[in-house]
Structure 1
Amino acid sequence: MAAGPVLVIGLDPVRIPGWDPQPVVAAIARGQAALRDRDVEADWCLVAPDENPEEAIVDALTRRRYACVVVGGGIRTYEPLLALFETVVNLVRQHNPGAAIAFNSSPEDTVDAALRWLR
């Protein structure tokens, strides 16, 4: 199924201090492979909450028009990042207003989240 393009916005596991990033790095790689396997073109914008994520997100959103923007579960479900989650949703509405907004629960189900809105 060809669809897209999709932008995935999530936390960069390598830039989050205090925990082992490798399981998430591996899950992201599996998520990217699943998107390719379903012929969905996707760009990834991985940010660190304490490194001006808004700038990177605006840059990604204004680079091209996306059919769907998937917001990762790390941003959406971690309560201390509630303000960042709100910012992400509003930046999508402002800079890519035609894009559907979807939510994943892990990098591996990103393709499912995107396809709910690309069908």
Structure 2
Amino acid sequence: MAKKSVLAIGIEPALADFTAAPELNPDRVRAYVHAQIEQLHALGFDAEICLIDLGETAEQVTAAALKAKPFDCVVIGAGLRLPAPQLLLFEKIINLIHRLAPTACICFNTNPADTVAAVQRWIEP
């Protein structure tokens, strides 16, 4: 049986706005993200990361990742959907997922350390 596949989409940590979460920084977020992906692997998922910029190539990078293979679940990081200035980009990414991965569950983490919990709410390995 094939492993369930997960794509985690988020803003490249070096470009993220940490105003609302001053305890975070790019290195800490990157460490959390990689640890969550490793935990998903350990749980039996085929998981990968798609880090995007703030709009210049975000749609193209996301579309390429979504077209690469079918995904059972797509996680959208808090850094993409919470800062108000990201609303248009968030909508664009949601619509890409809807169009290019119509059977994938969509879930949201609340911080870079709870991606696994978000995935597990919707699919099992």
TM-score normalised per structure 1 = 0.89
Structure 2 SS opposite 1:43:
strand
Q: Please give the alpha-carbon distance, in whole angstroms, between the structure 1 residues aligned to 2:11 and 2:44.
A: 24
- Cα deviation 1:19-51 (Å, max 9, x = unaligned): 741111111122122212212111110011143
- Alpha-carbon spacing, 1:71–1:23, altered in 2? closer, same or farther (3 Å): same
Change in Cα spacing, 1:41 to 1:88, as seen in structure 2 (3 Å) is: same
Identity of matched residues, %? 36
Question: How many residue pairs get matched?
Answer: 117
- 1:80 aligned to which of 78, 85, 90: 85
Please list, as runs of the form range in 1=range in 2, the aligned pairs for 1:1-119 lying within 5 A after superposition.
Answer: 3-14=3-14, 16=15, 20-119=25-124
Letter of the structure 2 residue corresponding to residue 111 of structure 1 = V
Runs of at least 5 residues in structure 1 that lack an aligned partner in the other structure: none
Secondary structure of 1:39's partner? coil
> TM-score if structure 2 supplies the norm length?
0.85
Question: Conserved in 1, the CA contact under 8 Å of 2:16 and 2:79?
Answer: no
Query: How far apart in 1 are the matches of 2:17 and 2:78?
Result: 19
Q: Which runs of 5+ in 2 are unaligned?
A: 19-24
- Which structure dedicates a bigger proportion of its chain to helix? 1
- The letter of the residue matching 1:25 is R
Ranges of 4+ aligned residues in structure 1 off by more than 6 Å: none
| Cα distance in structure 2, aligned partners of 1:72 and 1:95 | 18
